[in-house]
Amino acid sequence: MSTPPDLELVSLTKRYGSTVAVDAINHHFHAGVYACLLGPSGCGKSSTLRMIAGHESVSDGSVVLGGADVSHLPPAKRGTAMMFQNYALFPHLSVTDNVAFSLKMKGVDTATRRKRALEMLELVDMTAQAERLPAQLSGGQQQRVALARALITQPQVLLLDEPLSALDPFLRIRMRSELKKLQRELGITFVHVTHGQDEALALADEIVVMNNAVIEQAGPAREVFNAPRTDFVARFMGGHNVVALPQGRVAIRSDRIGLTEPAQGRLDGRIVTIEYQGTAVTLNLRATGDQDIAALIPEEEFFANPLTEGATVGLTWDDAAMHPLRA
Ligand code: ADP
Ligand code: MG
């Protein structure tokens, strides 16, 4: 098999009239990576994905796959495939015919189409439902069919736009691990759009955080979580405090904040609310300079010496826990 290609976005831009939905973004996705495009609604994730797929024209810049500019190729000629948020299955076609549809368009004969479709259905564990209509499937099953239908074209890059958002929370977590397993088995690049940071952390080798049409930060999941570089990334990834100190603004993980006696720490804080969370207890504090700080204290530690709302405590942390932020 040939080496899987890298995917590069070069100054990629999307304008809709006067709206700039994607503003000259640059990114290099290494072949075989599970990447998540993460950001709030309206930040330009879907537009980016659709430009990669060829379902949306590029206003400026280019999409480069394996060194070749594919920006102006039709979707079926790019080596990419897209799985849509609403699955977009044909209601009048059986599961098998839905999966085989793109091969039919390519003029592949019936027997070969069927055989390939059944292979794909086996891959997503849907062989038993092969002759059903989409309406006779659960949400999770429809999603697997949509996945099989995208994979039958043997893409080098699979593009998934919020693929789990239509599922209930339980199924979402199950399908999430199936997606990851499938990506590892196939060894192809997945670019998965989500607005959920927990989903991105659970799945991604690499997280690309978007905000207001630009990439705020990109890197390995742990790096983006542990060392956010902007206020936005620190707040959006969650689990962090943004604290203004004399030396500037820093991000500090909530679970890196320790408690001590008042005036013995770096800042004092008054406990506003206490939230029990099972394995830990969150203290929401109002600290020196009217700053809101959350401290996540392990359950046993908290209950060994319980505190009450209204109490004042000292807050401590290591130098290594501070990550300087640019505006
Ligand atoms: P996301 O997927 O991150 O929610 P989108 O890429 O869908 O963001 O949208 C980015 C911006 O572009 C938004 O302001 C949205 O309203 C606008 N937009 C998206 N699609 C269109 C379109 N077809 N026509 C006009 N504006 C659009
Ligand atoms: Mg979207």
Rounded to 10 deg, the angle between the 139-151 and 95-105 helix axes is 20
pLDDT tens for 196-252 read 999 999 999 999 999 999 999 999 999 999 999 999 999 999 999 999 999 899 999
Residue nearest atom 11 in ligand 1 by C-alpha distance: 21
Can you give the length of the chain in residues? 327
Ligand 1 pocket residue status of 59, Cβ below 6 Å: no
* Percent residues over pLDDT 70 in the chain: 98
Evaluate whether 4 touches 189 at the Cβ level (below 8 Å).
yes
pLDDT tens for 90-101 read 999 999 999 999
Residue nearest atom 10 in ligand 1 by C-alpha distance: 44
Decide: helix, strand or coil at residue 27. Answer: strand
Rounded to 10 deg, the angle between the 95-105 and 110-123 helix axes is 130
Tokens of 202: 């659970």
Q: Indicate if the pLDDT at residue 86 is higher than 80.
A: no
- Predicted TM-score of the model (pTM): 0.92
Indicate if 141 and 180 belong to the same structural domain.
yes
Q: Which residue has the higher pLDDT, 281 or 143?
A: 281
Integer-rounded Cα Rg, in Å, for the chain is: 24
Q: Indicate if the pLDDT at residue 3 is higher than 80.
A: no
Tokens of 226: 């542990």
- Strand bridging mode 206-211 / 34-38: parallel
C-alpha span between 47 and 174 (Å, rounded): 27
Other CB atoms closer than 10 Å to residue 239's CB: what's the count? 17
- On whether residue 196 sits in a domain, the answer given is yes
Range of the domain at 314: 253-324
pLDDT tens for 253-272 read 999 999 999 999 999 999 99
CATH number, domain of 304, equals 2.40.50.140
C-alpha span between 253 and 294 (Å, rounded): 9
- On whether residue 141 sits in a domain, the answer given is yes
Span from the CA of 41 to the centroid of ligand 1 (angstroms): 9
Indicate if 204 and 273 belong to the same structural domain.
no
Decide: helix, strand or coil at residue 163. Answer: coil
Task: Give the number of the atom of ligand 1 that is nearest the alpha carbon of residue 210.
Answer: 3
Indicate if 71 and 206 belong to the same structural domain.
yes
Using a CB cutoff of 5 Å, list residues around ligand 2, an ion: 46
C-alpha span between 70 and 56 (Å, rounded): 13
The single residue listed with the structure tokens 């043997």 is 154
Indicate if 218 and 137 belong to the same structural domain.
yes
Ligand 1 pocket residue status of 47, Cβ below 6 Å: yes
- On whether residue 244 sits in a domain, the answer given is no
Indicate if 210 and 263 belong to the same structural domain.
no
**CA neighbor of 164 nearest in space, from 138, 192, 130:** 192
Ligand 1 pocket residue status of 18, Cβ below 6 Å: no
Average pLDDT, whole number, for the chain?
A: 94
- On whether residue 201 sits in a domain, the answer given is yes
| Banded model confidence at residue 20, pLDDT cuts 50, 70, 90 | very high
